[in-house]
Amino acid sequence: MTSLIRFLMCAPDHYDVDYVINPWMEGNIHKSSRDRAVEQWEQLYHILKQHAIVDLVTPQKGWPDMVFTANAGLVLGENVVLSRFLHKERQGEEPFFKNWFEENGYTVHLLPKDLPFEGAGDALLDREGRWLWAGYGFRSELDSHPYLAKWLDIEVLSLRLIDERFYHLDTCFCPLANGYLLYYPGAFDAYSNRLIEMRVAPEKRIAIQEADAVNFACNTVNVESIVIMNKASNALKARLTDVGFRVVETPLTEFLKAGGAAKCLTLRVTEPLHQEIHANIPVQSRVIRLEGHLLDSGLINRALDLIVDGGGSFQVMNFNLGEQRQSTSAAEVRVSAPSHEVMEEIISQLIDLGAVDLPQNERDAKLQPVLQAGVAPDDFYVSTIYPTEVRINGQWVKVENQRMDGAIAITQTADGFIARCKILRDLEVNDLVVVDVQGIRTIRKTEYRENRASQEFSFMSSGVSSERRVEIVVEQVAWELRKIRDAGGKVVVTAGPVVIHTGGGEHLARLIREGYVQALLGGNAIAVHDIEQNIMGTSLGVDMKRGVAVRGGHRHHLKAINTVRRYGSIAKAVEAGVINSGVMYECVTNNVHFSLAGSIRDDGPLPDTQMNLIQAQEEYAKLIEGAEMILMLSSMLHSIGVGNMTPAGVKMVCVDINPAVVTKLSDRGSVESVGVVTDVGLFLSLLIQQLDKLTSPYVANVG
């Protein structure tokens, strides 16, 4: 054999499944046959020797996974980055591999302690030598990648693994000769798949199915046109043969029990250097600071989870734990991401949690002009419900009109800069819009700890309440309604037609009559059903008293619409005495503003229904202004619409029989929102009873 290609292997003298550090090992402890393992390993050794030189490192007792030499380190030219194993079960292999590399004349680079990186198992060179693909997510840290780039002077493309069965990059990814790539897309996140697709032309990508992937078909040793693997389906073999590869299958079932196969059992130690290639590392990092009840409120967990879920990794640099229950903690966290795009995504979510830059790193927000009316620059920062500030010319400017899903537009006036949230359609040419995620912070209150302890209205436990908690929420809402009414505050109700079907109409009408509601938002339907009920006694043709369908009743709601249309508006129909009770009647007679937003399925509509949706959104926004509490009663569409326009700090109560709606609305990450999964009619009747209890003891019971 004249090949100059060399591999390193380690005989399976001490191989066994002794512990579980990956899903393949589960249930396989001491289940592999020594004899068969030796036989399979020798077969692989034999095949490989026909195509390359194979060196051997001495196996060591007590280190059963040492057969997987792919994990010894990563070699390029004379340089080796030695592995730092994540699990202590394998850390003992490190010195033996180090010795071998040194004895064979390599320059060995050692990563910092506690920065795991598992060698060629997680880092694979493009076979044309153009770049290095490096995996992270399970065994290797993203933060190890910049070291690889520096020491090996090569561009590193980071790929995030998301399926724990494919915990090493070489279990699901194999660059082949001539620019081909054998891989299992399901093992990677969307961003990584996009990166792969950008770098490897479609005709060069050999994406395999799960069935081949679980046979470790990607765990292939490629020497020129030969590909050696455990097993491949006929379809895969045909595919590889078509593009000029010769597939050699050799069973490695005993090693599969430890989560490895052909490629894992080998390490290519001759990887030629390509002179024209140089380091170019897109991995970015940024240090952020979080302060507050980091532990009590789970903030730190949420922050770290979202970094990892977003495709980044982190290092907690400093953590100052608050000692007393009331003291806050502070943490400095280094966030790393494989690209600026991913970093932006992560940082924007951290900003929502209140993360800020270290003072010495603070910079002005980046601004870009609007070039087309109603269209923001591509990279615009999407606003949230939280009070936000942006840094302009070294000054933090508070953003006005805070709402979610807008852009932050800056205008300069004689008295300085004004920043405000604008929805896309309101952007004007030359408005300056905040782009990227620099120079932006949100102000999160930290005093929640005290509030929680107080007996007052505590919407603190955000999340869906169980049935058992309905009564507690009712008590709190009643208390708050009364307080707001007495202080002349503002409560807004969004309501769907279910309020009427479930018999809640009379209760809502009473809330309005007694001054607990200052604005009503809904669609055409709530008004139609309410009016139908009050002029005909049915709701959608169902008798509200007896709960049975009335013959021909389905026409009732159209008759109700027709009647209102005849008078020109709900108010005129009330004035004419046609409507003399109900929710809409109370709104009109008590001067409570309402806005009815139309939709495609509306019958009629009523003359009052605003069919111009942009107009309707504006009316809604106006009515919400200054609200202290919003009661959302069984209307997913209108409630979500309202939620989007409402800044943090407004108490929101969402009542719906459908838990999905409640979760969606109460999950604003805001402690002020609470959800109740229950029948809205029942909720309203309990609420009325509770309000009666709160108000009646002071009044002598006459008559």
Catalytic positions = 168, 264
Work out how close the CB of 133 gets to ligand ARG at its nearest, in angstroms, rounded to a whole number.
Answer: 14
Work out how close the CB of 173 gets to ligand ARG at its nearest, in angstroms, rounded to a whole number.
Answer: 11
- Considering the complex, state which of residue 28 and residue 270 has its C-beta at the smaller distance from ligand ARG: 28
Alpha-helix residue ranges (DSSP H) falling in 131-188: 145-152
> Pairing mode, if any, of strands 313-320 and 73-76?
unpaired
Residue given tokens 């399976």 in the structure block? 12
- Considering the complex, state which of residue 267 and residue 307 has its C-beta at the smaller distance from ligand ARG: 267
- DSSP codes, 1-27: -----EEEE--GGG----S-SSGGGTT
HSE, side-chain direction, 13 A CA sphere, residue 405: 9
- Considering the complex, state which of residue 122 and residue 357 has its C-beta at the smaller distance from ligand ARG: 122
> Pairing mode, if any, of strands 651-656 and 673-677?
parallel
Neighbours of 496 (CB within 10 A): 23
Work out how close the CB of 221 gets to ligand ARG at its nearest, in angstroms, rounded to a whole number.
Answer: 11
3 state DSSP class of 112: coil
> Which of 121, 122, 119 minimizes the C-alpha distance to 109?
119
- Considering the complex, state which of residue 10 and residue 544 has its C-beta at the smaller distance from ligand ARG: 10
Work out how close the CB of 85 gets to ligand ARG at its nearest, in angstroms, rounded to a whole number.
Answer: 8
- Considering the complex, state which of residue 137 and residue 260 has its C-beta at the smaller distance from ligand ARG: 260
Cα 683 from Cα 696, distance rounded (Å): 20
- Considering the complex, state which of residue 121 and residue 598 has its C-beta at the smaller distance from ligand ARG: 121
Radius of gyration of the chain (CA): 33
Neighbours of 486 (CB within 10 A): 9
> Which of 228, 222, 173, 219 minimizes the C-alpha distance to 200?
173
Cα 258 from Cα 250, distance rounded (Å): 17
Cα 42 from Cα 654, distance rounded (Å): 66
Work out how close the CB of 240 gets to ligand ARG at its nearest, in angstroms, rounded to a whole number.
Answer: 21
Cα 447 from Cα 453, distance rounded (Å): 11
> Pairing mode, if any, of strands 181-183 and 173-175?
antiparallel
Work out how close the CB of 304 gets to ligand ARG at its nearest, in angstroms, rounded to a whole number.
Answer: 24
Work out how close the CB of 283 gets to ligand ARG at its nearest, in angstroms, rounded to a whole number.
Answer: 22
- Considering the complex, state which of residue 73 and residue 259 has its C-beta at the smaller distance from ligand ARG: 259
- Considering the complex, state which of residue 171 and residue 476 has its C-beta at the smaller distance from ligand ARG: 171
> Pairing mode, if any, of strands 79-82 and 73-76?
antiparallel
- Considering the complex, state which of residue 28 and residue 446 has its C-beta at the smaller distance from ligand ARG: 28
User: Which residue ranges make up the site for ligand ARG (CB under 6 A)?
Assistant: 21-22, 65, 68, 70-71, 90, 121, 168, 170-171, 258-260, 264
Asked if residues 367 and 434 have their Cβ atoms less than 8 Å apart, the reply is yes
Asked if residues 283 and 156 have their Cβ atoms less than 8 Å apart, the reply is yes
CA angle 60, 64, 65 (to 5 degrees): 110
- Considering the complex, state which of residue 88 and residue 601 has its C-beta at the smaller distance from ligand ARG: 88
Residue 253 contacts by C-beta under 8 Å, 6 or more apart in sequence? 36, 40, 230
Order of strands across the sheet with 329-337? 313-320, 329-337, 284-292, 356-357
Structure tokens at 580: 């003399």
Work out how close the CB of 383 gets to ligand ARG at its nearest, in angstroms, rounded to a whole number.
Answer: 44
HSE, side-chain direction, 13 A CA sphere, residue 626: 8
Neighbours of 291 (CB within 10 A): 18
CA angle 403, 363, 409 (to 5 degrees): 30
**Which residue of this chain has its Cβ atom nearest to ligand ARG in the complex?**
121
Structure tokens at 197: 């697709």
Work out how close the CB of 66 gets to ligand ARG at its nearest, in angstroms, rounded to a whole number.
Answer: 10
Residue 688 contacts by C-beta under 8 Å, 6 or more apart in sequence? 507, 510, 511
Work out how close the CB of 250 gets to ligand ARG at its nearest, in angstroms, rounded to a whole number.
Answer: 16
Cα 647 from Cα 457, distance rounded (Å): 19
